[in-house]
Amino acid sequence: MRTEQTMPGSHATPPFRRFLVTVLPVVAVAVAGSLVTSPNIPGWYAGLEKPGITPPNWAFPVAWTVLYALMAFSLWRILSLSQDRPGRSGAIAAFFVQLALNSLWSFAFFGAHSPVAGLVVIVALIVAILATIRAFWPLDRLAALLLVPYLAWVLFATALNGAIWQLNGP
């Protein structure tokens, strides 16, 4: 069955460019986050008092690898739509806003050693993820649903971030 994504002349983003636009920014955010986070795990982060809901350190890169893959695939699907599809450009912009906030959180929390700054950024990130899901929904429901595990993890991370801030003071 042919869909708008597979029809000749649909003017979707070409596959190689789609790969570059989806994978490279997501990988760049993952790498940047890792570069600012990893050096702070054994020292600063290890010294923080953490709530009982804190997963083991190994769980974070596993979860984020899966979530980043889902995010990239979600954007891939949106970029597969015709470029003149109403709402497509706004949905792509929403995706990149949330991706920038995702990256900013690592710099706020780990880079600045500031759970309160991390909390401010992560609340904005939740709003941006919700806006992205809402923008993706009328265009491609699967693309929107692929972001739900990401939203769930960020909601959990918000609770964790908030608890760390409470336990360690402002």
Q: What is the CATH number of the domain that holds 144?
A: 1.20.1260.100
Q: Is residue 112 part of a domain?
A: yes
Fill in the DSSP letter of residue 14.
Answer: P
pLDDT of residue 1: 44
**pLDDT attached to residue 10:** 58
In a domain, 72, yes or no: yes
pLDDT at 12: 80
CA 16 to chain CA centroid, Å, is 22
**Domain count along the chain:** 1
Helix H or strand E encompassing 62: helix 59-79
Checking if the pLDDT of 87 tops 90, the result is: yes
Q: Mean pLDDT over residues 100-116, rounded?
A: 97
**Per residue in 5-51, pLDDT tens?**
444 445 787 888 888 989 999 999 999 999 999 999 999 999 999 99
5 within a domain of the structure (yes/no): no
Do 32 and 103 meet the contact criterion of CB atoms below 8 Å apart? yes
Asked whether residue 66 is domain-assigned, the answer is yes
Q: From 132, 28, 23, 153, select the one nearest 87 (Cα to Cα).
A: 132
Global pTM exceeds 0.85: yes
- 8 falls within a domain: no
Convert the pLDDT of each residue in 123-164 to its tens digit: 999 999 999 999 999 999 999 999 999 999 999 999 999 999
Angle at 132 between CA 119 and CA 120, to 5 degrees: 10
Separation between Cα atoms, residue 4 and residue 93, nearest integer Å: 21
